[in-house]
Amino acid sequence: MSNPPVHRARKRFGQNFLQDENIIRNILRGINARPGEQLVEIGPGLGALTQGLLEATGGKLDVVELDRDLAGILKTQFFNYPGFSIHQADALKFDFASLANPPEKLRIIGNLPYNISTPLIFHLLTFARNVKDMHFMLQKEVVDRLAASVGDSAYGRLGIMVQYHCRVEPLFKVPPSAFKPQPKVDSAVVRLTPHEKLPVRAKDEEQLKLVVRTAFGQRRKTIRNTLKNLVSTGQLEALGIDPGLRAEKLTLHNFVAISDTLAV
């Protein structure tokens, strides 16, 4: 692989550029892209993964990059791929459905800036019906939260809502030395695969989001207290849920049951 262009990482964009060739190969192997697939790369940076993705898909790739300077560098670097399209835009506001070409679904890849990873994942979940899978490099702590089970200290709103939509598979850990500049934390690569059929379907997903967010708003309190403005102790008991539990002890099915009780 050729030397990457010179570009000073911008702190306000949360830029940490992947440079470890072994990690790059492992990520590309995990994605296992094929010609004809609809790939979208978020925040390609200096193109560490971009070259491999273009080669795997036969030269077809959409990228979403906020930094105008990087977008210009990438346009020059990959000008010889007619199927390479750059969308100079904020991924948090981008309409990913506009790139879908039914029945083909999107495969989304990204080394996500740590400062926007959680809101960006929530944004991407709104396009789950258009997505085949997503492969992300994230702060390891975030991957732990995505994959957490009931009772784990990392179990919370993010993991519950992502697991409602997707199967979560942590793939491997990535050390700070794989990046330039080096972040102060470990990273990890995760695969999110939207469920073909939801494990449990809420009557009102917005209501479910509200219940989960409220329940974890004060983690140390019991749901009798955190949810008292939404649901009564009697309603919880009628659902077979102990009001004396903390939110971290409730399953996704429990949260959906509470949400459905409130849905009009």
Give per-10-residue mean pLDDT for the chain (264 aa): 45 65 95 95 91 93 93 93 94 96 93 89 96 96 96 94 97 93 92 96 96 94 96 96 97 97 84
Round to whole Å and give the CA distance between 90 and 66. 5
Asked if the structure places residue 246 within a domain, the reply is yes
Q: Is 100 left (phi over 0), alpha (psi -120 to 50) or beta?
A: beta
Q: Indicate whether 187 and 252 sit together in one domain.
A: no
Domain termination residue (choose one: 164, 194, 224): 194
Round to whole Å and give the CA distance between 247 and 227. 10
Asked if the structure places residue 210 within a domain, the reply is yes
Q: Indicate whether 210 and 183 sit together in one domain.
A: no
Asked if the structure places residue 5 within a domain, the reply is no
Give me the domain span that covers residue 116: 11-194
- Our count of domains for the chain comes to 2
Query: What confidence score (pLDDT) does residue 45 get?
Result: 86
Query: What confidence score (pLDDT) does residue 1 get?
Result: 45
Query: What confidence score (pLDDT) does residue 133 get?
Result: 98
Q: Indicate whether 184 and 53 sit together in one domain.
A: yes
Instruction: Identify the residue whose tokens are 């470890």.
Output: 20
Q: Indicate whether 68 and 189 sit together in one domain.
A: yes
Asked if the structure places residue 4 within a domain, the reply is no
Asked if the structure places residue 199 within a domain, the reply is no
CATH number of the domain where residue 250 is located: 1.10.8.100
Q: Indicate whether 190 and 221 sit together in one domain.
A: no
Asked if the structure places residue 33 within a domain, the reply is yes
